[in-house]
A = this chain, B = another copy of it.
Amino acid sequence: MAGNTFGQIFRITTFGESHGEAIGVIVDGCPAQLTVDIDYIQGELDKRKPGQSKITTQRKESDTVKILSGVFEGKTTGTPIAMIIPNEDQRSKDYGHNVDVFRPSHADYTYFSKYGIRDHRGGGRSSARETAARVAAGALAKLFLKANGIDVIAHVSSVGKIDAPNVEIRDAEEFIAQREQNIVRCADPATAEEMIAFIDGVRKDGDTVGGKVSCYITNCPVGLGEPVFDKLHADLGKAMLSINAVHGFEFGSGFSGSEMRGSEHNDIFRKNGDKVETITNFSGGIQGGISNGMPVEFRVAFKPVATIMHNQQTVNSVGEAAEISGKGRHDPCVVPRAVPIVEAMAALVLADHLLRDRAAKT
């Protein structure tokens, strides 16, 4: 109800502020007997952590995760899995100058208005630092999905106006390997270089820029998703829109589908061996809210990060005009670090629907 829980059966609850003691997550409903690869979980966190390259913030956090419960002799026991990530770099002083000032396009004003109080240190609960807890939980979900043969893979498909060409996905691991060869996490090497150069220029301007992440779920079984309100793409959409800085979500043909005719857009069914498939995939692998066995495909739009190195006009908590100066460390473009977050949230949605589908038939 207060919005810190996600999922129905495979369900997570996160906690923690940017500059508090620790952040963390409880994963409830992860089935028993799953082998937990803690190195894999840490590896996913490492892809999200700050300070990993010249195009991310220079804030340093090791983001080391510790499992407190729910795992016994390397396997899940069916009980809740608590994971915590201590906050190491609590340089609250950096933020001291903004205590009473509402940063433009941040959550300072809205949190203060809603609760009448706010933890101003580094954005408190509204900081994207909270997403580390999602990545840890999502890594567990991915292990569960892998045990069911399902892969969730994403990459940066746009930075500003630079778009990557469509990538054909033959193999999930190959795709990931390709993507990890560059610091912007775009699976197309030529575009990646262009993106990196562009972000670096934006960074030197003390500015930021938005971008897009494209995500694919391959080997997705037919039948996931519930009709009506909990359509698979509706839950994916909510999951993505809950990530900091996301301003848009589309799947399959997406916004461009609204410009097409039915005769072009319909995905014709055909038999391929034993399997039913469609010739095109404008449906993005989902029909009537339920997966149809084709790859699930969606895109997520991120606005530019609000923290910039320029001075900006604003108001303070008693409503007076104020100026805010650009200090501290910042991310010039959030999408390279957002890739594991998008994958984590998608994996959580899929794991949940995989379990929900077990109740479909008598």
Q: List residues of chain B with CB within 8 A of the CB of A15.
A: 26, 28, 68-70, 79-82
A189 at the interface (CB under 8 A from B): no
Per the bound structure, the CA–CA distance linking A258 and B162 in Å amounts to 10
Would you call B248 and A251 a contact (CB within 8 A)? yes
CB distance B226 to A2 under 8 Å? yes
A241 contacts across to B, CB distance below 8 A: 231, 233-234, 237-238, 249
**Is A250 a contact partner of B253 (Cβ separation < 8 A)?**
no
Interface SS, A side: mixed
A305 lies within 8 A of B255 (CB): no
In the complex, the 9 A-B pairs of residues with the closest C-beta atoms, listed nearest first: A107-B288, A3-B226, A3-B230, A248-B250, A208-B262, A110-B290, A238-B238, A32-B115, A210-B258
Query: Number of A residues whose C-beta is below 8 Å from B?
Result: 152
Contact (Cβ within 8 A) A287 B105? yes
A17 CB within 8 Å of chain B? yes
Known: A5-B5, A233-B241, A276-B315; 11 extra A-B contacts, CB below 8 A, are: A1-B226, A5-B28, A17-B72, A75-B117, A78-B114, A109-B222, A110-B222, A202-B261, A247-B257, A247-B258, A254-B301
Contact with B along A248-272 (1 / 0, CB 8 A): 1111111101111111111111110
* A1-40 with Cβ < 8 A to chain B: 1-6, 8-9, 11, 13-17, 20-24, 26, 28-29, 31-34
Let me know if B119 and A72 touch, CB within 8 A: yes
Cα–Cα distance between A72 and B124 once the two chains are bound (Å) = 10
Tell whether A218 is near chain B: CB-to-CB under 8 Å. no
Find residues 183-215 in chain A having any chain B CB closer than 8 Å to their own CB.
202, 207-212
A102 within 8 A of B: yes
> Contact at B21–A1, with CB atoms within 8 Å?
no
Shortest Cβ distance from A178 into chain B, in angstroms? 22
Question: Which single residue of chain B is at the shortest CB-CB distance from A310?
Answer: B263
Residues on B with C-beta less than 8 A from A4 are 26, 28, 79-80, 226-229
B29, A359: Cβ atoms closer than 8 Å: yes
Complex interface residues of chain A between 260 and 311 (CB less than 8 A to chain B): 260-271, 274, 276, 278, 282-284, 286-293, 301-308, 310
With a cutoff of 8 Å between Cβ atoms, the chain B residues found around residue A278 in the complex are 104
Contacts of A282 in B (CB 8 A): 105, 303
Give the contacting residue for A77; candidates B76, B78, B125; CB below 8 A.
B125
Contact, CB under 8 Å: A292 / B359: no
Chain B min CB distance to A111 (Å): 6
Q: Is the CB of A208 within 8 A of B290?
A: no
Give a binary string over A55-66; 1 marks a CB under 8 Å from any B CB, 0 the rest. Answer: 000000000001
- The reply to whether B252 and A249 contact each other, CB–CB distance below 8 Å, is no
- Given the known interface contacts A21-B68, A257-B301, A314-B268, the answer about A34 and B114 at a Cβ–Cβ threshold of 8 Å is no
